[in-house]
């Protein structure tokens, strides 16, 4: 007779070290999924609330720049009856926002250029070269992040005064560079460490000097990180108020935009030119919004490029 067919149902074999799935384990997984979904929903709600808190004041300021003083106080949450561009013209000329805007562009351009040049070179050397005192110098740079700038205002005033640079754009630019270097070195040093060593070795074999290797090989590879930290420096230096207030206190023709708007705010309380004030505020805010909107992808890629080595 041929082999008989087994009519019994085979049971799953559990190997040693394995555990049979249980109803309790399934419930545990479902509970974890529910917790993750709940936390994700709460995170989205928090982001929406934060976006409303940030966007609504900016939008209100923009709309108020086209209103007159009576509209601002009588109907603050309505659209302006008409677009009063004369508010912008009055702020630009009579309140000298145009002059302050140009001063800010000059100071921030020079400050960011010097910060990125010196900061990228220092970060590259600290990240790629081993020498005595490497870690000490790096930690000295990083320690600047924990030092509040207002604690150094008085000694900084006397240092700049002794150098003969008080009430000059040159002195303010140098202070901006020193103020921004700790974050720049900290950010770029971590970024330069993620760049492949093989490319640098190939460049040295081909006869590149250290300077040429940095400017022609490594800096183009670090472009995402340079753009990201450059945007952060632009925003930080553009909105700086304490340093210009101390270092340019007696040079009104050299004031930057934050000082000019503060002066307009004080005068607005006496002259009731609130529409001019909001127009000046809008002119100060819009450039940074445009810069961030244009370079948003580069900023995100720079922040995530060093995550995977």
In the predicted model, what is the mean pLDDT of residues 299-308? 61
pLDDT at residue 149 above 50? yes
Q: What is the pLDDT of residue 28?
A: 66
Q: What is the pLDDT of residue 15?
A: 56
CA–CA separation, 179 and 233 (whole Å): 10
Q: pLDDT grade, residue 152 (50/70/90)? A: confident
pLDDT tens by residue, 97-132: 999 999 999 999 999 999 999 999 999 999 999 889
Q: What is the mean pLDDT of the chain?
A: 84
DSSP string, 209-265: -HHHHIIIIIHHHTHHHHHHHHHHHHHHHHT--HHHHHHTTT-GGG--HHHHHHHHH
Q: pLDDT grade, residue 2 (50/70/90)? A: very low
Quote the CATH superfamily of domain 94-305. MetI-like (1.10.3720.10)
Q: What is the pLDDT of residue 5?
A: 46
* Single pTM value for the model: 0.80
Looking up tokens 């006496």 gives: 270
Q: Which H or E element spans position 112?
A: helix 97-128
Q: Report which of 281, 260, 269, 261 is spatially closest to residue 64, judged by C-alpha positions.
A: 281
Number of other residues whose CB lies within 10 A of the CB of residue 242:
13
Phi, psi angle pair for 241, to nearest 5°: -125, -40
CA–CA separation, 78 and 193 (whole Å): 53
pLDDT at residue 160 above 50? yes
Q: pLDDT grade, residue 6 (50/70/90)? A: very low
Residue ranges of domains in the chain: 37-84, 94-305
pLDDT tens by residue, 250-287: 888 899 999 988 888 777 656 667 888 899 999 999 98
CA–CA separation, 225 and 188 (whole Å): 7
Give me the percent of the chain exceeding a pLDDT of 70.
Answer: 86
CA–CA separation, 25 and 19 (whole Å): 11
Instruction: Tell me the two tokens of residue 294.
Output: 């244009």
Is 189 within 8 Å of 123 (Cβ atoms)?
yes
Which of 15-29, 185-199, 264-278 holds the top average pLDDT? 185-199
pLDDT tens by residue, 89-98: 988 988 889 9
């Amino acid at each position: 007779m041929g082999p008989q067919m087994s009519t019994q149902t085979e049971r799953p074999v559990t190997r040693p070290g394995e555990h049979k799935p249980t109803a309790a384990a399934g419930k545990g997984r479902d509970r974890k999924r529910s917790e993750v979904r709940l936390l994700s929903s709460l995170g989205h709600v928090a982001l929406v609330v934060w976006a409303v808190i940030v966007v609504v004041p900016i939008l209100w300021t923009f709309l108020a720049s086209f209103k007159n003083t009576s509209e601002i106080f009588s109907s603050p949450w309505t659209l302006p009856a008409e677009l009063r561009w004369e508010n912008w013209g009055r702020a630009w000329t009579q309140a000298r926002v145009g002059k302050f805007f140009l001063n800010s562009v000059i100071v921030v351009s020079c400050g960011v250029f010097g910060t990125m040049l010196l900061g990228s070179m220092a970060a590259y050397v600290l990240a790629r070269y081993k020498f005595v005192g490497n870690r000490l110098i790096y930690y000295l740079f990083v320690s600047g992040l924990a030092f509040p700038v207002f604690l150094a205002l008085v000694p900084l005033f006397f240092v700049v005064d002794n150098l003969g640079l008080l009430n000059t754009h040159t002195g303010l630019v140098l202070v901006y560079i020193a103020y921004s270097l700790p974050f720049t070195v900290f950010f770029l040093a971590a970024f330069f460490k993620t760049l492949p060593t093989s490319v640098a070795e190939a460049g040295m074999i081909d006869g590149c000097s250290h300077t040429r290797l940095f400017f022609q090989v490594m800096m183009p590879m670090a472009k995402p990180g340079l753009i990201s930290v450059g945007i952060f420096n632009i925003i930080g230096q553009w909105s700086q108020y304490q340093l210009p207030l101390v270092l340019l206190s007696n040079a009104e023709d050299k004031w930057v935009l934050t000082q000019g708007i503060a002066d307009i705010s004080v005068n607005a309380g006496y002259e009731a030119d609130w529409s001019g004030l909001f127009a000046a505020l809008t002119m100060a805010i819009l450039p940074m919004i445009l810069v961030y909107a244009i370079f948003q992808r580069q900023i995100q890629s720079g922040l995530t490029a060093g995550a995977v080595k």
